[in-house]
Amino acid sequence: MADGSEKNAVVSNKKVIFKDYVSGFPKESNMVVTIDENLKLKVTGDSKNILVKNHYLSCDPYMRLLMKNQSTEIFDPYTPGAPITGLGVSKVIDSRNPELKEGDLFWGITGWEEYSLLKSSEGLLTIQLLVNFYFYKMIKGMPGLTAYGGFYEVCAPKKGEYVFVSAASGAVGQLVGQFAKLMGCYVVGSAGTQDKVELLKNKFGFDDAFNYKEEPDLNAAVKRYFPEGIDIYFENVGGKMLDAVLLNMRVRGLIAVCGMISQYNCDQPEGVHNLMSIVYKRVRIEGFAVADYYPQYSKFLDFILPYIREGKIKYVEDIVEGLENGPTALIGLFNGRNVGKQVVVVASQ
């Protein structure tokens, strides 16, 4: 297969195709890997299209929502018979768009395929190789900007506050916990295995952590770690965890809702029963999306680069090699198989 350096080259293009809308827990069989044999590595016509080679693809829980035949109001659902899409790191092979030129690296929404023809540069953030490419892949990409925007902009933390992070060993949660420690907060995280609990405490520096699967009473568990209540809850889970947290928030506490992975495979979402705690304790709940913070990307880089250079931010990723293994990696998010950020390597540098 050509690497994109040959002008007018024709290559095969492996793709992960979405078969049809999903009810309940997704399966690998909801996707199929196909190959198109005759892709020209050249943009033709008068369009502003961008032809890219995809290097790294990000597996993210929100992608399950796009497998339903309904809009999220942020992303449109997947189209049966077309490649699934998600965030990735890509390199421009050819471009008619003035915003991106041949050889540029960027991260943004792309197809789950070896090569993608993008119709717009909107939402694509270029990468400058100022530090190791690894950090651009994840810390400086979607998880980093999500953690930064959600924690610093939505939560507006103060030194000494009590912070709880659910799904804390995941792509975003591990960074939120470290940001909170850098702020001088007390931080506890929840995760689904004892190995992940140890990772939170021993690698990421959380003050404490617990395995929610071993807790018969989540309310009691949260109260055990926060006897004086929670100032900030960074929400990634929803459902029973959110119910327990609501009972343990402090007066005028804040809940930043990044996601609710426990609900993504439910045909009927679980109810939340302790909502009156919002009134009693004057709790503020605010949802957000990473796209809200694209305009602050430069500010985010100024913030994160010194910490990366000083080795003050640690990160764990779960690497899967080969696009053909992408469906397995994506489905693994929903049974806790991954440790850290799940990445599919389509092509090395």
The CATH number of whichever domain residue 324 belongs to comes to 3.90.180.10
Q: Between 84 and 317, whose confidence is greater? A: 84
Mean pLDDT of 20-34: 95
pLDDT at 133 over 70: no
What single-letter amino acid sits at 124?
L
- Write out pLDDT tens, residues 98-122: 999 999 988 889 999 999 999 999 8
The number of folded domains in the chain is 2
191: in domain = yes
161: in domain = yes
Question: Are 132 and 180 in a shared domain?
Answer: no
310: in domain = no
Q: How confident is the model at residue 340 (pLDDT cuts 50, 70, 90)?
A: confident
- Predicted local distance difference test score (pLDDT) of residue 346: 93
pLDDT at 129 over 80: no
- Predicted local distance difference test score (pLDDT) of residue 267: 82
pLDDT at 6 over 60: no
CA 67 distance to own-chain centroid: 16
Q: Between 119 and 337, whose confidence is greater? A: 119
- Predicted local distance difference test score (pLDDT) of residue 2: 45
Give the range of the structural domain holding residue 157, as residue numbers without chain letter.
Answer: 142-291
User: 95-109, 136-150, 188-202, 213-227: which range is least confident on average?
Assistant: 136-150
- CA nearest 33: which of 338, 342, 346? 346
**How many other C-beta atoms can be found within 10 angstroms of the C-beta atom of residue 184?**
11
Q: How confident is the model at residue 298 (pLDDT cuts 50, 70, 90)?
A: confident
Question: Are 87 and 14 in a shared domain?
Answer: yes
Mean pLDDT of 283-289: 97
95: in domain = yes
Mean pLDDT of 168-181: 95
CB neighbour list of residue 89: distance below 8 Å, 6 or more residues apart:
54, 55, 56, 105, 106, 107, 127, 136, 137, 141
2: in domain = no
- Write out pLDDT tens, residues 61-83: 999 999 998 877 788 899 999 99
Question: Are 245 and 329 in a shared domain?
Answer: no
**Phi and psi at residue 131, in whole multiples of 5°?**
-135, 180
- Predicted local distance difference test score (pLDDT) of residue 106: 86
- Predicted local distance difference test score (pLDDT) of residue 8: 66
Question: Are 324 and 267 in a shared domain?
Answer: no
108: in domain = yes
- Predicted local distance difference test score (pLDDT) of residue 134: 47
Question: Are 156 and 94 in a shared domain?
Answer: no
- Predicted local distance difference test score (pLDDT) of residue 183: 96
24: in domain = yes
